[in-house]
Amino acid sequence: MNPKRCAACKYLRRRCPKDCVFSPYFPPNDPQKFACVHRIYGAGNVSKMLQQLPDQTRAEAVESLCFEAKCRVDDPVYGCVGIIHLLKTQIQKTQNELAKTQAEIAVSQTKLSQTQNSDFM
C-alpha cells in the first residue's frame, strides 16, 4: 500500500497515478470527504465533472460537491435546498423584525419630538 494515495484511490482500492484527478482535492487524511461525494455522485461522474472544468475552478467545484453531498446525506429529501429554505425563512423573519423595530423607533421619535415641542410652549 502506498501511503501517499489520495482518499479517493484508497476508497476505491486502486493505485494512485501521478496524474490522478482526485489527488489535489481529496487528501489521504480526510477519507470521509470522498466517501460522501462518491456515495451521492459516484467516482466516475465526479471524475468526468472535474476533467471538464478548468484547473482554476476545480477546487471550488469539489467544495461545492462535498457540501451538497453532505447535505443530501443529512437530508435525503431536500438536501441543500432545505438549508436554503431555512435561511430564506430566517431572513424574512429578521426583515420583519427590523421593520417593526424601525417603526417603533419612528413612533418614539415622533412622541419625543411632540413632547419637546409642547414643553417649549
Q: Which residues contact 85 (CB under 8 A, 6 or more apart)?
A: 78
Q: Which pLDDT band, with edges at 50, 70 and 90, does 119 fall under? A: low
Average pLDDT, the chain: 92
What pLDDT score does 121 carry? 62
User: Is the pLDDT higher at 115 or at 78?
Assistant: 78
pLDDT tens digits for range 57-77: 999 999 999 999 999 999 999
pLDDT digits (tens, 9 = 90+) for 14-66: 999 989 999 999 999 989 999 999 999 999 999 999 999 999 999 999 999 99
DSSP string, 64-93: HHHHHHHHHHH-TTTTHHHHHHHHHHHHHH
Cα–Cα distance, 66 to 44 (Å, whole number): 15
120 vs 75, 114, 117, CA distance in Å?
64, 10, 5
